[in-house]
Amino acid sequence: MAGSGTAHLRTGEALLRAEHVVVEFGPNKRRVKAVSDVSFDVMRGETLGLVGESGCGKSTMARAAALVQGLTAGKVLFEDTDMTKLTARELRKARTGVQMVFQDPISSLNPRRRILDSVMEPLAVWKIGTKDERRRRASEILESVGIDPDQTAKRRPTELSGGQCQRVSIARALTLEPKLLICDEPVSALDVSVQAQILNLLHDIKGERQLTMLFIAHDLAVVKNVSDRVAVMYLGKLCEVAPPDVLYRAPAHPYTTALLAAIPDPDPEAQVGSVPLSGDLPSPTDPPSGCRFRTRCPRAADRCAAEEPQMRELAPGHFVACHFSLEQPAASGGPSRATAASGTG
């Protein structure tokens, strides 16, 4: 199965590089094609945001990137080592450099275990330090994510709020000093007022610890806020990759356009547009031929069914996999890079 290509991969030193990753589940007849030939790279110190609706395969992609999920085909390179070629023992060791933060903060912590024990556990597994040293180290990390260890260390997850549990999950992910943090919908179960706290925290620890992040979410505003580069996924494939400010100002793929149009605006003056997309996501057991978005795409033509669009570069750093996207994003040309750079500098 041909994917949407690798034109968007960059040369240079990528901390994580996924090449032609395919993940499928189930027996042949009802085989779920969760991820179909997806490639991406994350540079050191960068945050890559992966967005898409539920069922698009973004969580599977995250798990595959952490090698928690086996690949059907393709490879994942972490620091230029092909993780799929490692033995179980080597993989276990290599995976200490990649840690995950999950969506539901309460169920991702062991309810019977005290907070400090949960945070200490990764150290105990790797037999790092004495028990006292581990305890001290875990307390320090808890403190760095805004949890008071004196008050909270002895408590259990059910005694904490969702926001606090997510802080603890982040602390636990940090104990082994990973290089890459994979966050799978880390704020979607949290209240708005707490969500902002966690997003700011993630940004702070990323700066302090020189982390690289793969940030997965369905909320485009959240993804825009945290990312240096955004990849949009639809039904197991990437459809657009761009720096966030460019993507949101001049989306080139019809799916990205529809996704952006569907976001409600917290401004009562803003016009509520008409429904941008009709219908549901097609079944991943039997995806459409050619471009997977064609069944819901307003611009679909015969070519889209026959031929799979490949990633191509519209403007520096802006890639899209669509046959008909050229005429639209004329405005997204050269200055985008400059504004993004001055905005972040």
Partner 1 sequence: MLEVEDLHTAFRTPRGLVRAVDGVSFEIDRGRTLGIVGESGSGKSVLVRSIMGLLPTSAAERSGSVRFAGHEISSLPQSELRDFWGTQIALVFQDPMTALNPVVRVGRQVTESLRLRAGLDRSAARQTAVALLESVGIPDPIRRLRAYPHELSGGMRQRVMIAIALACGPKLLLADEPTTGLDVTLQAQILDLLGTLQGERSMAMILVTHDMAVVAGRTDEVAVMYAGRIVEHAATNVLFTHTRMPYTEALLRSIPRLADPSHTRLRSIPGRPPDLSIESPGCAFAPRCAYVQERCRHEAPPLRGAGAGHRFACWFPVGSDEGTEALASNLEAGLPAATALSATSTVHSSPEAVSSAHSGIS
Whose Cβ is closer to partner 1: residue 301's or residue 341's? 341
153-212 binders of partner 1 (CB under 8 A): 161, 163-164, 191-197, 199-200, 203, 206-207, 210
- Count of residues interacting with partner 1 (CB under 8 A): 71
Q: Which residues contact 105 (CB under 8 A, 6 or more apart)?
A: 162, 163, 165, 166, 168, 169, 189, 190
Taking CB under 8 A as the binding criterion, the range among 77-85, 112-120, 269-277, 285-293 that sits at the site for partner 1 is 269-277
Half-sphere exposure of 1 (CA within 13 A, CB side): 24
State the nearest-atom distance from the C-beta of 12 to partner 1, in Å: 4
State the nearest-atom distance from the C-beta of 160 to partner 1, in Å: 10
Contacts within 8 Å (CB) and 24+ apart, 6-9: 6/39, 6/311, 7/310, 7/311, 7/312, 7/313, 7/319, 8/39, 8/40, 8/238, 8/241, 8/311, 8/313, 8/319, 9/39, 9/40, 9/41
3 state DSSP class of 239: strand
- Of residues 9, 190, 164, 192, the one with CA closest to residue 172: 164
Residue count of the chain, please give it: 345
Whose Cβ is closer to partner 1: residue 84's or residue 188's? 188
47-86 binders of partner 1 (CB under 8 A): 47, 53-54
Helices (H), 145-280: 149-152, 162-174, 192-209, 220-226, 244-249, 254-262
Whose Cβ is closer to partner 1: residue 88's or residue 192's? 192
Asked whether 28 and 5 are in contact (CB, 8 A), the reply is no
Whose Cβ is closer to partner 1: residue 132's or residue 267's? 267
State the nearest-atom distance from the C-beta of 197 to partner 1, in Å: 4
The reply on whether position 30 binds partner 1 by CB under 8 A is no
State the nearest-atom distance from the C-beta of 204 to partner 1, in Å: 9
Whose Cβ is closer to partner 1: residue 72's or residue 197's? 197
The reply on whether position 250 binds partner 1 by CB under 8 A is no
The reply on whether position 145 binds partner 1 by CB under 8 A is no
State the nearest-atom distance from the C-beta of 275 to partner 1, in Å: 5
The reply on whether position 272 binds partner 1 by CB under 8 A is yes
